[in-house]
Structure formats: structure tokens, C-alpha cells
Amino acid sequence: MMGDFMGKMQEAQQQMEETKKRLDGVFVDVEIENGAIKASASANLKVTNISISDGLLAKNDKEELEDLIIVAVNKVLDEAKQVQEVEMSKVAQGMMPNLGGLFGQ
């Protein structure tokens, strides 16, 4: 019984690692201020791109630019985190029926 449990735990860990690797290829894109700033991130919470429109740069308003970059980065990371949580919960739910057999269910 303990061997079955350890095997299931190793399988679960392997599935989680595979999901993490897969999430490196899942991307989220956001735009703020009508596309003035665009940001992209992987579902593993790595920012992969930030694009700033020429119009925003032409304003020469450093403080506004900094504030908008922060907003864009936070927004893209929040959305990427949601994708990550959904995908990880799918893996966890998929493992539950397998673990249930260990407890006589």
C-alpha cells in the first residue's frame, strides 16, 4: 500500500513538472490605455514583452510612462497567474481519482 502511495505521489509530481514546462509556451497578452502599452507574459509568470506606443513616448511624461508600465506588468501577471492556477488545478483534479483508490474508495 505504501509503495502504491509513493508511486502515485511520484506520478503526481511528474505531471506537475510537465505542466510547468508546458506553461512556458502558454502566453497572455494585455493592452492598456487603448494599446499605448502592451505586455505579454508566460503562464509561468515571466514577462516576455513590453511594447510602448510612439504616441505615449512622444508625450515625454516619464512619471506617466512608469505608472502605465507598472499597471501593464501587474495586469499581465495577474492574468497569467489565473491561467496557471486553472491549469494546475486541472492536473490536481486529474490526480484525485488515482489517489482515492489508495484509501479504499
Instruction: Give pLDDT, residue 95.
Output: 67
Work out the pLDDT band at 82, boundaries 50, 70, 90.
very high
Range of the domain at 59: 24-98
pLDDT one-digit tens code per residue, 10-26:
877 888 888 889 999 99
Query: CATH number for the domain including 33?
Result: 3.30.1310.10
State the Cα–Cα distance between residues 53 and 63, nearest whole angstrom. Answer: 16
Q: How many domains does the chain have?
A: 1
Work out the pLDDT band at 6, boundaries 50, 70, 90.
confident
1 found inside a domain: no
pLDDT one-digit tens code per residue, 56-66:
999 999 999 99
17 found inside a domain: no
4 vs 16, more confident: 16
